[in-house]
C-alpha cells in the first residue's frame, strides 16, 4: 500500500474511515485523454448526502465536507432539483437539504479546495425524490454551479414512469425525448471544461445487443439510459458514467452492466456500491463480493468505484458479510490502491 492510500485509510474524528479515495488527482477531457489518464489512476467518486449534513452554529463551514482528506477524487452534493429556484442566500429552493445557508456551503467548498486542490466538486441533479425533469431549468442550475464555484454536475435521471419496453430489437422508453433533451440542455448551459457525469440505473443499459435479456428483467427502467448511450452525439456530451450496481437483486451482475455500457461509451465508467441494506431485491454486498467485483471491473476497463453515500446508517450487527460503511470503504480503498502491474490490480 503506497503512502497516499495509507493516509487515506487512517481514522478520522467524524467517521471511522475515509469515505472517498482517489490515489491521485484526476482531470476531465476528451475520451482519449480521459482513458489515458484514468487507466493508471483508479477513481473513487461518492455522494455527499445533504440530508445527513451537520449544522454547527459555532463554525462558518461544514466540517465534514470541508474536512474531507486530500485523497478525494470526486464528490457530488446530493440532490438538487431539476426545477430549482435558487435565490442565493437560502438553499431551500435548490433541493439540497443542508441545514445552513448558502454562504456556509460556499465557505465549505472553498475550504475543501484549499485543502485539496485536485478535488472535483459536483452537484447531483435529480435522484429518486426530484423527478420534475420536464420543468428543467438549466440556466438556474448553471447559475448555482457558478455561484458555488463547482466543477459541474451529475445527472441522476430516475423518472417515475419511464415505461421502457421492447420494440423489435430496440428499447423505447416514454422518457427518451426528455432524457436526451436534459443532456443537451445541461451541456449547452455547462460547456466544457465543466463536468457532466451520468449516473446510470442498474439495468439502464440493458435490452439490446448481447444484453437483450440480461437479468433482472421486468423493470420499466430496463434500458432507461439507452437513448443517450446509443446515440454518439449524446454520449459524447458525457464525461463520466457511474453505474448504480445495487438495488437489483442477487441475479444482477455488475460486470455485465459494465460491458453493456462500454459497448456504447468510451470514457471512464465507475461501478457503484452501497453499504447494506439495499432498497430493493434483498441483495447485500459483502466485503468479499465488493473486492471481487471491483477487481474484475478494473481488469476489464472499469475506471474505479462510486459510493452511495456518506452517512448512510449502518446495518444492524455489521460484519464482513453485512459490512458497515467503514468496512466496505476499507475494502474499496484497499483494492484501488493495490499496486498495479500491466494496468491490472495485483494482490498485496
- pLDDT band at residue 241 under the 50/70/90 scheme: very high
Share of the chain above pLDDT 90, in %: 67
List the beta bridge partners of residue 290: none
Residue 140 above 50 pLDDT?
Answer: yes
Per-residue CA distances from 102 to 90, 110, 136 (Å): 6, 12, 21
Compute the residue count for the chain: 348
Residue 249 backbone class (left: φ over 0; alpha: ψ -120 to 50; beta: rest): left
- Rounded to whole angstroms, how far apart are CA atoms 141 and 130? 14
pLDDT on residue 71: 64
Residue 313 above 90 pLDDT?
Answer: no
pLDDT on residue 174: 98
- pLDDT band at residue 197 under the 50/70/90 scheme: very high
Angle between helix 176-189 and helix 138-148 axes, rounded to 10 deg: 40
**Rounded mean pLDDT, 276-280:** 92
Residue 225 above 60 pLDDT?
Answer: yes
- pLDDT band at residue 146 under the 50/70/90 scheme: very high
Nearest to 184 by CA among 237, 107, 108, 114: 237
Collapsed DSSP state (helix, strand, coil) of residue 321: coil
Nearest to 293 by CA among 247, 345, 238: 345
Indicate the range of 27-31, 191-195, 217-221 predicted with least confidence: 27-31
pLDDT on residue 213: 97
Note the Cα 300 to chain centre separation in Å: 19
pLDDT on residue 175: 98
> Residue 249 is placed in which grid cell?
437483486
CB 149 within 8 A of CB 103: no
Residue 346 above 60 pLDDT?
Answer: no
Q: Which residue has the higher pLDDT, 326 or 322?
A: 322
List the beta bridge partners of residue 49: 78
Question: Could you tell me where the beta strands, DSSP code E, fall in 2-134?
Answer: 43-49, 74-80, 120-126
> Any residues with CB less than 8 A from the CB of 328 and at least 6 apart, and which?
273, 275, 285, 287, 290
Backbone angles phi, psi at 80, to 5 degrees: -105, 155
- Rounded to whole angstroms, how far apart are CA atoms 161 and 174? 8
Q: Model pTM?
A: 0.88
SS3 content of the chain, % helix, strand, coil (to 5): 30, 15, 50
Helix (H) or strand (E) holding 344: strand 344-345
CB 171 within 8 A of CB 208: yes
Q: Which residue has the higher pLDDT, 104 or 316?
A: 104
Residue 227 above 90 pLDDT?
Answer: yes
pLDDT on residue 329: 73
Fold topology of 3-343 = TIM Barrel (3.20.20)
Amino acid at each position: 500500500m503506497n503512502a497516499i492510500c495509507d493516509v487515506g485509510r487512517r481514522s478520522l474524528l467524524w467517521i471511522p474511515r475515509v469515505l472517498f479515495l482517489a490515489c491521485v488527482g484526476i482531470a476531465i477531457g476528451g475520451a482519449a485523454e480521459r482513458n489515458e489518464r484514468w487507466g493508471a489512476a483508479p477513481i473513487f467518486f461518492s455522494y455527499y448526502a445533504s440530508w445527513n449534513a451537520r449544522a454547527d452554529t459555532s463554525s462558518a463551514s461544514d466540517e465534514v465536507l470541508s474536512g474531507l482528506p486530500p485523497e478525494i477524487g470526486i464528490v457530488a452534493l446530493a440532490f438538487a432539483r431539476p426545477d430549482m429556484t435558487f435565490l442565493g442566500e437560502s438553499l431551500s429552493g435548490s433541493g439540497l437539504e443542508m441545514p445552513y445557508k448558502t454562504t456556509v456551503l460556499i465557505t465549505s467548498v472553498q475550504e475543501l479546495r484549499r485543502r485539496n486542490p485536485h478535488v472535483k466538486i459536483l452537484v447531483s441533479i435529480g435522484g429518486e425524490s426530484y423527478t420534475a425533469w420536464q420543468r428543467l431549468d438549466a440556466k438556474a442550475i448553471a447559475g448555482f454551479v457558478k455561484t458555488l464555484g463547482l466543477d459541474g454536475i451529475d445527472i441522476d435521471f430516475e423518472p417515475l414512469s419511464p415505461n421502457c419496453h421492447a420494440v423489435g430489437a430496440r428499447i423505447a422508453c416514454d422518457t427518451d425525448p426528455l432524457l436526451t433533451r436534459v443532456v443537451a440542455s445541461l451541456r449547452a448551459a455547462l460547456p466544457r471544461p465543466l463536468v457532466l457525469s451520468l449516473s446510470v440505473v442498474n439495468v439502464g443499459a440493458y435490452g439490446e445487443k448481447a444484453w437483450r435479456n440480461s437479468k433482472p428483467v421486468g423493470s420499466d427502467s430496463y434500458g432507461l439510459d439507452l437513448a443517450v448511450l446509443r446515440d454518439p452525439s449524446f454520449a459524447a456530451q458525457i464525461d463520466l458514467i457511474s453505474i448504480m450496481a445495487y438495488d437489483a437483486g442477487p441475479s444482477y451482475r455488475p460486470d455485465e452492466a459494465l460491458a453493456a455500457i462500454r459497448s456504447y461509451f468510451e470514457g471512464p465508467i465507475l461501478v457503484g456500491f452501497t453499504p447494506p441494506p439495499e432498497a430493493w431485491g434483498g441483495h447485500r454486498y459483502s466485503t468479499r463480493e465488493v473486492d471481487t467485483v471491483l477487481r474484475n471491473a478494473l481488469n476489464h476497463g472499469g475506471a474505479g468505484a462510486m459510493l452511495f453515500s456518506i452517512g448512510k446508517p449502518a446495518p444492524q450487527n455489521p460484519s464482513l458479510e453485512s459490512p458497515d460503511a467503514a468496512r466496505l470503504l476499507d475494502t474499496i480503498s484497499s483494492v484501488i490502491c493495490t499496486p498495479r502491474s500491466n494496468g491490472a490490480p495485483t494482490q498485496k
